[in-house]
Structures are given as structure tokens and as C-alpha cells.
Amino acid sequence: MHQKKVLPNNVRLITSPLKETQTANLLVLIRAGSRYENEKLNGASHFVEHMMFKGTVRRPTAYDLSKELDGVGAEYNAFTGKDYTVYYIKVDTRHLSLAIDMLSDMLLHSKIDSQEVEKEKGVIVEEINMYEDNPLMSVDEIFEKIIFENNPLAQTIAGTKETVRGLSSQELSDYKRKLYNGKNIVISLSGNYSENHLREIEEKFSFIGGEELNAFEAISIAQNKPKVIIKFKETEQVQLMLGFPSYPYGHHRMHALQLLSVVLGGYMSSKLFLRIREQEGLAYSIHSGISNFEDIGSFQIQAGLDKTRIEPAIKLIKEELNKFKEISEEELQRAKDHIAGKMAIDLEDTAAVSIWYGVQELMIGAILEPKEKIEKIMAVTLDDVIAVAGEIINFQKSNLAIIGPFKDEEKFRKLLEN
């Protein structure tokens, strides 16, 4: 069970005790991501995340930060998404006070030094190059570019090489000051901790100010024909992502959509894996997934396909998706048990527990306990899943992203229309 406390500066503190473990995970989520950036600032959220590890007033260099955490065997990192940024430190409970001091110091007192910014530009450009050179890692960016076109959600998280090179230390400092404020921050602490640790968190993070809650440009998709985008690349294997607009965080049909995703492409005995890989040998990997944002989401299929047989593969994927009415009660029950089992395994980790509570609080403002989540999953009926599939799987609203040796988008669009 979790507890919630709103601090005087509007920072929300979510705590979830796990007394049987010897570790604690301190996680801070901030409503700062690429959807809050204009075109010129694209990549700023991710850049700021990098700069938080470059030194503070008390710990002047990246080495000064890392040596303290490495010295106690801590696990620590950060990541940026389209709608939030996460920082975390997982430690032996004996060193939780250090984690609290370190994370608050980084968020409150990091130096966004102009010389360090210029050096880090090269690092981030190389990170962008890494993603661009790996179709498996970048096909989702191409997909979101087309499904969310003309909205900041279509922007890449890291930005472009041009926008990254153009960002100044002053712009990054101003951006951080605007977004890293009380109402935009959730602290999620899970594991073995004491009341003294909670008092330390309240004290150390009390200096975060600000009342403003970040606003974003809400997206509404009015699509009535398939869209295709191709990134030409001479590859042996084609990376493909095919998907549809779906539900935002907290939608009442999300549990049925999760089950649909598992049945269609959630594991090695799913419909798509058996048909496309095992029976036809057209793909090395194929799976389904769901992406959620505050106002919209997407349901998508990703596959690594034989480039010489991509057209029959797309036809078969489309055929399998359109057979959703054939889902059986046995398949649905297996999907329910799969989700319950995965949750039980995942939530043995204090880091996963912190994410579980923190993301719900930040994105929805309401939290389901794991037990409540399982109860809702188990209550979904076959009719619920088929109704959701009928609503989401509509090929007039389909979006197809391809990375491979092709250029004719119209040919693939016709495959989706017919």
C-alpha cells in the first residue's frame, strides 16, 4: 500500500514500504519532455537530463557525483520521455540518506556550465547517430512522426543534430527553471526506509519552488485513410511498425486493450508470433505494444521482416489483426494470467514499484494498487476485448513506418487500403 503527501511547495511524495527488502529506491519524476518543447528547443528536456550529472556547487564534477554513488554500490541513472523525465538512485537502505542528499543536490544545484554544454553536444549528437544507425531502436520515432504529425508529440526526444547544436546554456537553464517546479514533480520512494528518511526528503526538496503546472498542446487525430512513411536505408532486414491511435493514460478501456495486445503479440505463443514467424518464417521478431500519453495513445505492431517478402508479411499481419473476433476465452484467460504473473515478478523490484506509483500519480493523478489492477484485468470479458479491437483496429486509421531499401510509399498505402 502507498501513502501520499503533498509538501508545502506542491511536490507530491508517494511512499510504498517494502520492509522485507534491504534496499530502497528513490525516484523523481518531472513533467518535462519533448512534447513541452517548441521546434527550436527540441531536445532540451533530454539535454537538461544529461547536465544534471555534470556537477553541482558542492560536487563540482561528474566524477565527484559518481564516485560517491559508486562507492556504496548504488544503481543510478535517468531517462527522458515525451511527457516526463525520471531520475533514480537505488541503494542499500544504509545509504539512503546519501541518495536523498545526492538527488536533491543534482536537481537543485546542478551547474549548467557553458563549457560543459558545448562538450555534451558532441555526446548527444553521437547518441542520435547511434539511434539513427539502428533501425530496431529508431523505427518507433519514425512511426510517431507520422501518427502524431503536426503536434509536438511527433518530435524526437533527443532532438535533431541541428537543434542540439543550437542550444545554449542559458536556454537550458531557463527551460529547467520553468519546468522543474513543485506541481510538476512527484517523488516516489519504495523499499525499506525510516521516518527519518521521509523527514530528510521533505527538508532536502523543500527548496524547489514554483506553482505553474506544465501545459501541452492537446492532440486530436481526425484520420480517414492510411498513412505511410519510409526511411530509405540499405538493410537486409526491414524494420516495420504498424499501428493505430488509441487511448490515453487512465482510460476505462485500457485494461481490455492491454489484454488484446498480449493475445495478438505479447509472447511467443501469441497469434502474430505463431503465424508470421513460426508458420510462415517471415520475421525474426514480431510483437505488439501500447504507448500512452495524457491525451492520446497508440497500439502498434513492430516486426523485423525479410525484405524480399515484406508485402506478403504485411498482408498476413493485416489478416491476423482483422481476425480479432476469433479470440477465444482460453486465449483471453492465458493473457490475464500472463499479465498477473509478469506484474508479480516485476514488482519484487523496488525500482519497478517506484515507477508503478510515480507514473500513475504524475500522469493520472490517481493510483491503482497492484491488487486493484489485477482485479480490473480479471474482470474484462471477451466481449470487452472484441469491442476494443473493433474500435482500435481500423485500417482507415492505420499508420505504417518502414526502415529499409524502399521508396514507394503509395505501394504500401494500397496494401493497407485493400
Q: Residue 215: what pLDDT?
A: 79
Contact 410, 387 (CB under 8 A): no
Residue for cell digits 526491414? 238
SS3 48: helix
Backbone angles phi, psi at 302, to 5 degrees: -120, 140
Give the pLDDT score at 222: 86
Mean pLDDT estimate for the chain:
95
Instruction: Report the pLDDT value the prediction gives residue 394, as an integer from 0 to 100.
Output: 96
Q: How does residue 320 score in pLDDT terms, banded at 50, 70 and 90?
A: very high
- Grid coordinates representing 378 are 480479471
> Which residues have C-beta within 8 Å of that of residue 206, sequence separation ≥ 6?
7, 8, 9
* Distance, CA of 175 to CA of 80 (rounded, Å): 15
Region(s) of the chain under CATH 3.30.830.10: 3-204, 227-417
Within 13 Å and on the Cβ side, how many CA atoms surround 98? 20
Instruction: State how far the Cα of 21 lies from the Cα of 11, in Å rounded to an integer.
Output: 26
Please give the Cα distance from 360 to 294 (Å, whole number): 11
pLDDT at 1: 86
Q: What is the reported pLDDT for 74? A: 98
pLDDT tens digits, one per residue of 192-251: 999 999 999 999 998 887 667 777 888 888 899 999 999 999 999 999 999 999 999 999
49 is catalytic: yes
pLDDT of residue 210: 67
Express as a percent the part of the chain with pLDDT over 90.
93
Bridge partners, 87 (sequence order): 28, 78
Please give the Cα distance from 159 to 44 (Å, whole number).
8
Q: What is the pLDDT of residue 213?
A: 73
Active site residue: 20, 37, 49, 326, which one?
49
In degrees to the nearest 10, what's the CA dihedral of 317, 403, 399, 258? 60
Candidates 283, 273, 274, 285; CA nearest to 307 is 283
State how far the alpha carbon of 253 is from the alpha carbons of 131, 271, 279, 383, 406, in Å. 33, 21, 32, 12, 37
What local confidence, expressed as pLDDT, does residue 62 receive? Answer: 94
Torsional sign, CA 30, 34, 35, 38: positive
pTM of the model: 0.95
Just give the CATH number of 3-204: 3.30.830.10
The answer regarding whether domain 227-417 maps to CATH 3.30.830.10 reads: yes
Q: Give the span between the Cα atoms of 336 and 376, in whole angstroms.
A: 10
Residue percentage of the chain with pLDDT more than 70: 100
The CB-side HSE value for 92 (13 A sphere, CA atoms) comes to 7
User: 208 or 374: whose pLDDT is higher?
Assistant: 374
Inform me whether the pLDDT recorded for 384 exceeds 90.
Answer: yes
Q: Which of 309, 256, 317, 308 is nearest to 287 (CA)?
A: 317
Mind listing the pLDDT tens digit for each residue in 281-313? 999 999 999 999 999 999 999 999 989 999 999
